[in-house]
Chains A and B, each alone.
Chain A
């Protein structure tokens, strides 16, 4: 029985642990704590800040490799925002989208570091982001169009008889955006990390079970390394997808199709 208790779950790596906590019997049992997710989000914030600060190349016009990296992230997000929303009106949303992109990207990449913690694999974080973005886009739509915002749920050229059904479908799909946006990001990161964890557990067992098996285990090890490269790509792609979809939701609120 004791053997089974020690089996590591592939979900162990996502466990949120208390690192520091302050419990006091005041203000309704105040409990302030620093968890590992909080720690890694803070580290990500400082990392972005420091890299941004140090890669300025002393404000010279000709960039070095570090400032080119910053400028290319800027250009990428800028082209997403102006392409998705609007060449002119989309500029207002650029700072938000840039922060969103860099935040998700850096947290995805920090999650890829061995022994580290993937904050973006937690639904609480990604749902907070996605619900905020979609709710914000909805408030934007209402403030810009008033009650005409509901025309978003009416597809153009729709027959009157089908209208109630289509409005229902459009409404549900609009609500589903909240979930799908956050679910996509967290599920991708979660599944990638779990797969790597399970495969490396298997490979470790293969490679440690004998001399011949050590060399046999090099094949799955090569696969794991290749898959880590794929995960690195997913870290970038998911950050980009999140920003593209956030832009398209904001555009829906602005232009109503």
Chain B
């Protein structure tokens, strides 16, 4: 009765030796150390890596606002502002 509890049969048991080796082998093959940093490929991934990756910065907001101002000014200039170049009101 006591022998079934102490020592546990699973440890060092001959039947489990192969399986234990499998487990050890599995963990041995796993990559060690810090995970490699992903290399950006292409323009969008580069942008993500540069501004929205580990060093997250608020610059994408500035870029979006800048692009919107450019687009909006171009439209305002075409439809309206160019007609007021020499007669401001």
Contacts and interface: CB of A to CB of B under 8 A. Distances in A.
Q: Do these two chains interact?
A: yes
Contact of A6 (B38, B53, B76, B89): B89
Interface string A175-210: 000000000000000000000000000000000000
A110 B89 contact: no
Interface string B53-89: 1101000100011001101110110011000100101
Interface of A: 3, 6-8, 12, 17, 19, 36, 43, 47, 51, 54-55, 57-58, 64-66, 110, 113-117
Contact of B84 (A6, A51, A66, A116): A6
Interface residues of B, number: 23
A115 B53 contact: no
Given A8-B89, A64-B53, A116 B79 contact: no
A88 to B, nearest CB: 35
B2 interface: no
B44 interface: yes
A55 B48 CA distance: 8
A66 B64 contact: no
Question: Interface of chain B, helix or strand or loop or mixed?
Answer: helix
Contacts, number: 51
B56 A64 contact: yes
Nearest to A69: B56
Contacts of B54: 64
Nearest to B72: A115
Contacts of B47: 54
Given A3-B89, A6-B84, A54-B48, A114 B69 contact: yes
A33 B33 CA distance: 57
B56 A117 contact: no
B52 A66 contact: yes
Contacts of B80: 12
Given A6-B89, A12-B80, A115-B75, A110 B56 contact: no
A115 B76 contact: yes
B30 to A, nearest CB: 18
A114 B47 CA distance: 25
